[in-house]
């Protein structure tokens, strides 16, 4: 499998060969799902909290004596059985982050890239750069490449000028190749890779 390499003017200047063992087999959507769920869980704030009977405001005094009144025995008004009492086993602040095996994360990224390649939503360019920090110039470059909507731009080491120029364009993200995840790829319409970044990814995923 080969893909065309274009320049900033969307003119073909060469091609790069993709390894069939990485992108030619069955797309394992179950791995993509696992990776996306893990990434979403890691971003959960987990700041929910309920008050136990020790935290609820109120007296700790026994409302009435244990025997002889005919009423049910009770120790304090903060009892969970009472209205406005404490909560038993309620949610407390916690982290939802967990880790998947490295092979699973690599397999998910391989599958996500393979899916985008089959859909024809991957653009490989020789370089990603802009002459000056200007959103208009960055938007024009994306338009020439035929990239619209949500897009992910990947380079081995993105230039600061490119990152600053792209940050005001809604739905466009710029990432280095060593920080790309399956969720980043699947959460976009187009993936724009430099030739060097694609080669680096093939080495890392091999």
Q: Domain count for the chain, please give it.
A: 2
> CB of 202 within 8 A of CB of 168?
no
Shared domain check, 74 and 36 = no
Report how far apart, in Å, the C-alpha atoms of 121 and of each of 6, 24, 92 are: 14, 16, 43
Residue 200 has pLDDT above 90, yes or no: yes
Q: Evaluate whether residue 95 is within a structural domain.
A: no
155: containing domain: 2-45+100-205
Q: Are residues 82 and 174 in the same domain?
A: no
Q: What is the dihedral of CA 145, 149, 155, 159, to 10 degrees?
A: 90
Indicate whether 17 belongs to any domain. yes
14-23, 41-50, 69-78, 107-116 — which is least confidently predicted? 14-23
- Beta-carbon contacts of residue 76 (< 8 Å; ≥ 6 apart): 53, 58, 59, 60, 61, 62, 63
Sign of CA dihedral 117, 123, 126, 131: negative
The Cα–Cα gap between 34 and 133 comes to 38
Whether residue 112 is found in the same domain as residue 142:
yes
pLDDT at 25: 83
Asked if the model's pLDDT at residue 21 lies above 90, the reply is no
The pair of structure tokens assigned to 27 is 């797309």
Q: Is the pLDDT confidence value at 20 over 90?
A: no
Q: Does the residue 123 lie in any domain?
A: yes
Instruction: Give the per-residue pLDDT at 45.
Output: 95
* Residue 133 lies inside a defined structural domain of this protein: yes
pLDDT at 55 over 90: yes
**pLDDT band, residue 157 (cuts 50/70/90):** very high
In a domain, 54, yes or no: yes
Same domain? For 106 and 83 the reply is no
Q: In the predicted model, what is the mean pLDDT of residues 127-156?
A: 92
Q: Which of 203, 199, 24 is nearest to 126 (CA)?
A: 199
């Amino acid at each position: 499998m080969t893909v065309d390499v274009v320049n900033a003017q969307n003119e073909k200047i060469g091609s790069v060969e993709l390894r069939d063992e990485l992108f030619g087999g069955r797309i394992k959507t179950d791995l993509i799902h696992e990776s996306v769920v893990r990434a979403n869980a890691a971003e959960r704030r987990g700041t929910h909290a309920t008050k136990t009977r020790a935290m609820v405001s109120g007296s700790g005094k026994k409302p009435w004596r244990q025997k002889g009144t005919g009423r049910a025995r009770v120790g304090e008004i903060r009892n969970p059985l009472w209205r406005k009492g404490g909560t038993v086993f309620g949610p407390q602040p916690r982290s939802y982050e967990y880790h998947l095996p490295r092979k699973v994360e690599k397999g998910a990224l391989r599958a996500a890239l393979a899916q985008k390649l089959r859909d024809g939503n991957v653009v490989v360019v020789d370089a990603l750069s802009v002459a000056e920090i200007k959103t208009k110039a960055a938007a024009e470059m994306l338009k020439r490449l035929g990239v619209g909507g949500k897009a992910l731009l990947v380079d081995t080491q993105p230039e600061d000028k490119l990152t600053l120029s792209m940050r005001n364009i809604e739905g466009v993200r710029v990432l280095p190749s060593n920080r790309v995840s399956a969720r980043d790829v699947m959460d976009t319409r187009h993936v724009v890779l430099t030739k060097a970044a694609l080669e680096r990814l093939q080495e890392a995923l091999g």
